[in-house]
Chain A
Amino acid sequence: SQQGEEDPQALSIQEGENATMNCSYKTSINNLQWYRQNSGRGLVHLILIRSNEREKHSGRLRVTLDTSKKSSSLLITASRAADTASYFCATVLRHRAGSYQLTFGKGTKLSVIP
Chain B
Amino acid sequence: EPEVTQTPSHQVTQMGQEVILRCVPISNHLYFYWYRQILGQKVEFLVSFYNNEISEKSEIFDDQFSVERPDGSNFTLKIRSTKLEDSAMYFCASSEGPRVYEQYFGPGTRLTVT
Contacts and interface: CB of A to CB of B under 8 A. Distances in A.
A42 interface: yes
Interface stretch (B62-70, B76-84, B104-112): B104-112
B43 A98 contact: no
Interface residues of B, number: 31
A97 B51 contact: yes
A31 B105 contact: no
Interface of B: 4, 31, 33, 35, 41-45, 48-51, 55-56, 58, 89, 91, 93, 97-99, 101-108, 110
Nearest to B92: A42
B45 A102 contact: yes
Contacts of A100: 48, 101
Nearest to B41: A106
Given A35-B105, A107-B42, 13 more contacts: A30-B101, A33-B101, A40-B108, A42-B91, A43-B93, A45-B104, A45-B105, A48-B102, A97-B50, A98-B31, A99-B49, A101-B45, A102-B43
A88 interface: yes
Contacts of B91: 42-43
- How many residues of A sit at the interface, in one of the four size bands? 20 to 34
A105 B42 CA distance: 6
B108 A45 contact: no
Contacts of B31: 98-99
Contacts of A44: 105
Pairs A-B, 6 closest by C-beta atoms: A98-B98, A99-B48, A101-B45, A95-B56, A42-B105, A99-B55
Given A95-B55, A97-B55, A41 B102 contact: no
A87 interface: no
Interface string A22-58: 0000000011010100001111110010000000000
